[in-house]
Structure 1
């Protein structure tokens, strides 16, 4: 997965899935993307960066179920009172974590709560929601930069065949391609 350069094949997948042409009428444009990146202290991973700059910034047609959010948006059910989102701080996970099932976690409740805040609010943008607080994030900072994660009230799971939950390819283009093929998100045997 190359997060520094958008591949022609990856961009073709995105154009086909969202039925966008090269004119990008609803795209942000590179100056707006650069301004967003400067404001948040990040460089968006490819091919998402090219996607929002040249194709479209959000779409009512998924993925996910309720559509792809614009770059600066959050789902309507995100909630008030959350800590400030810090995209420049690293996303803290590199493997799935189902915190709802962990009764034997050696960390204190305060440590777990602090880690949960970082999972939800550090190093990722929210791509959209499948409802009921089940949101898809694109990691923009940290070891999993460029990976898509499903984060809900019960746990966090990375998307990509190498993680064992799906047959789809990792990264934004792989996530979109999986959706466009009308496959269930978690389709690994």
Structure 2
């Protein structure tokens, strides 16, 4: 997964799935650079080119409800207490964490507040995040009230490739998010 340069194959996939974009759909490079400067981040590729040249939000896409949200938007059911996010602070996780199983009350605020943009929602607080800072920059994570899990074959549970393009490709192929049987059968 290359987060610094958009692969022509990845961009072709994104254009095939979401159209070729244009001034009415895409954010444009000037607005992307302004968003990055305001938030103290450089967006990972190919998402960066996706919002600049293809579309900044669409009702199509891998999520069940709103498609892919415009950059910086939050789902309608996002808690007000978590609205002040800081994208420049590194996302804190590098592996799956089911805090619902912790004996003590975990401090999960940093998982929701730092280092990610919300790509979209599957409803009921189940959201897909693109990590924009930290060790997992460029990875897509599923974060909900019970825990957080990275998307990608190397993390288990799916055959999908890591990153934004891998997440979109998995959806475009019509595969369920958890398409690997965990018990080894």
Q: Is it true that 1:65 corresponds to 2:64 in the alignment?
A: yes
- Asked whether the equivalents of residues 21 and 55 of structure 2 are also in contact (C-alpha less than 8 Å), the reply is no
Q: Separation in 2 of the partners of 1:159 and 1:54?
A: 25
- Asked whether the equivalents of residues 149 and 158 of structure 1 are also in contact (C-alpha less than 8 Å), the reply is yes
- Structure 1 counterpart SS, 2:174: coil
Q: CA 1:121 to 1:131, structure 2 compared with 1: closer, same or farther past 3 Å?
A: same
Counterpart of 1:163 in structure 2 is: 155
Counterpart of 1:93 in structure 2 is: 93
- Asked whether the equivalents of residues 127 and 138 of structure 1 are also in contact (C-alpha less than 8 Å), the reply is yes
Q: Is it true that 1:129 corresponds to 2:111 in the alignment?
A: no
C-alpha deviations, 1:58-111, integer Å up to 9, x for none?
A: 1101221111100021000001122620000000000000011122x5xxx4xx
Q: Could you say which structure has the greater relative contact order, defined with CA pairs below 8 angstroms and 6 or more residues apart?
A: 1
Please identify, of 59-68 and 158-167, the stretch whose mean Cα deviation from structure 2 is larger.
Answer: 59-68
- Asked whether the equivalents of residues 25 and 55 of structure 1 are also in contact (C-alpha less than 8 Å), the reply is no
Counterpart of 2:10 in structure 1 is: 10
Aligned residues: 180
1:97-108, aligned counterparts within 5 Å?
A: 97-103=97-103
- Structure 1 counterpart SS, 2:119: strand
- Structure 2 counterpart SS, 1:118: helix
Tell me how large the CA RMSD over aligned residues is. Answer: 1.2
Please identify, of 81-90 and 6-15, the stretch whose mean Cα deviation from structure 2 is larger.
Answer: 81-90
- Asked whether the equivalents of residues 93 and 119 of structure 1 are also in contact (C-alpha less than 8 Å), the reply is yes
1:36-185, aligned counterparts within 5 Å?
A: 36-66=35-65, 67-82=67-82, 84-103=84-103, 109=105, 112-113=106-107, 116-185=108-177
- Asked whether the equivalents of residues 89 and 115 of structure 2 are also in contact (C-alpha less than 8 Å), the reply is yes
Q: Mind listing any 5+ residue stretches in structure 1 that lack a counterpart?
A: none
Q: Separation in 2 of the partners of 1:132 and 1:24?
A: 33
Please identify, of 141-150 and 9-18, the stretch whose mean Cα deviation from structure 2 is larger.
Answer: 9-18
